[in-house]
Each structure stands twice: as structure tokens, then as C-alpha cells.
Amino acid sequence: MNVAKQINISRNTPGQPIWQRNYDAYPDAIGEHIIRNDKSLHRIRQYIIQNLIRWQNDQENPDNQLVTLKKKRTP
């Protein structure tokens, strides 16, 4: 809560939500997790790496949206 409050103070956006909601609704999401052992650490590292790779092709990636718009305009 304090981190979100400080972010909103620095952005001048009081009361605006900071954290992604419903991240636990996705089965492969890590969400908040306490790292208790090497196996858990490895799994989280792999998740982060895979997300970075998937982001390159994600339709929500703003860079991909620009490419998609350019392709639609090309006859």
C-alpha cells in the first residue's frame, strides 16, 4: 500500500490503482510468491524469461500494434 501511495504521489494521481488486478486468474501467473527454495526460484526465473519472449509477439505490446496498423494500411 505504501509503495502504491508513493507512486501516486510522484505521478500526481491520488487514489489510482497501481497493481494489475486479477493476476491470479491466469493459471500460469506467478503473482505474489515467496521464494523458499532453488526449485521455486528456477520456476519464477523461467516464467519471467518466457514472458519476455512472449511479449515480443503479444497483441497488447504497443510495438506490435504499430506493426499491425502498418500491415493493415499496406494494399
Q: Which residue has the higher pLDDT, 65 or 75?
A: 65
Do residues 44 and 35 make contact, with C-beta atoms less than 8 angstroms apart?
yes
pTM of the model as a whole = 0.42
pLDDT of res. 38: 95
> Tell me, what DSSP letter sits at residue 43?
H
Render pLDDT for 17-60 as a digit per residue (tens, 0 to 9). Answer: 776 655 555 555 555 677 899 998 998 899 888 888 888 888 88
Distance CA 71, CA 75 (A): 8
DSSP line for the chain: -HHHHHHHHHHT-TT---SPTTGGGSTT---S----SHHHHHHHHHHHHHHHHHHTT-TTSHHHHHHHHHHHH--
pLDDT of res. 37: 94
Render pLDDT for 1-20 as a digit per residue (tens, 0 to 9). Answer: 788 888 889 989 888 877 66
